[in-house]
Amino acid sequence: MRPYAEAATVKLFTRTFEPQPLRTDKQGFSEGRALTPAEREAIESKISLATWNGAPVMVGCCLPHHFLRYYDKAGRQIGEIAICFCCACIYGRPEPPGVAGNTALDFDPEALKAVMKGMGVRTDFGCEPAAADSPGA
């Protein structure tokens, strides 16, 4: 899936929720990393649409720590995908094309985690120790 296909630039931001000096300009977010076309394709290839039957399923935590922010040619943010690897939740703001009714964003957590790790990006922010990025995890 290619959410916000019209975006000229995609940046990856992370939020650690780790203790740090209070600064209203950062609020725990990384500075953001502009993705190369290959990185964007690798990440977006792990995101899909899923159709649910019945009531929506609510996950336990959904405290996203990874954000894909999409910008137009003028540098204005046009969308965002928020991802939580701890509970495997994902959502868009505003919802990307194709998301409506009982159709929602979905992703392969382990495959996307492998892509992120290959880029040198941690995926264990705020997760239980068993889910932490460590040798053998």
pLDDT of residue 122: 87
At 68-77, the pLDDT tens digits run 999 999 999 9
Ranges of the chain with pLDDT below 50: 22-27, 130-137
Q: Name the DSSP letter for residue 135.
A: T
In a domain, residue 3? The reply is: no
pLDDT of residue 23: 44
In a domain, residue 129? The reply is: no
In a domain, residue 133? The reply is: no
* Cα R_g (the chain), whole angstroms: 15
pLDDT of residue 130: 45
pLDDT of residue 131: 42
As given in the structure block, the two tokens for residue 81 are 């995908």
As given in the structure block, the two tokens for residue 87 are 């509970």
Count of domains forming the chain: 1
pLDDT of residue 86: 86
Which residue range is the domain that position 60 belongs to?
A: 9-123
**Closest by Cα among 92, 99, 87, 90 to 126:** 87
In a domain, residue 60? The reply is: yes
Per-position DSSP letters for 6-57, written without gaps between them: T-SEEEEEEB--------TTTTTB---EEPPHHHHHHHHTTEEEEE--SSPP
Q: CA-CA-CA-CA torsion for 2, 105, 70, 88, nearest 10 degrees?
A: -120
pLDDT of residue 28: 53
pLDDT of residue 55: 60
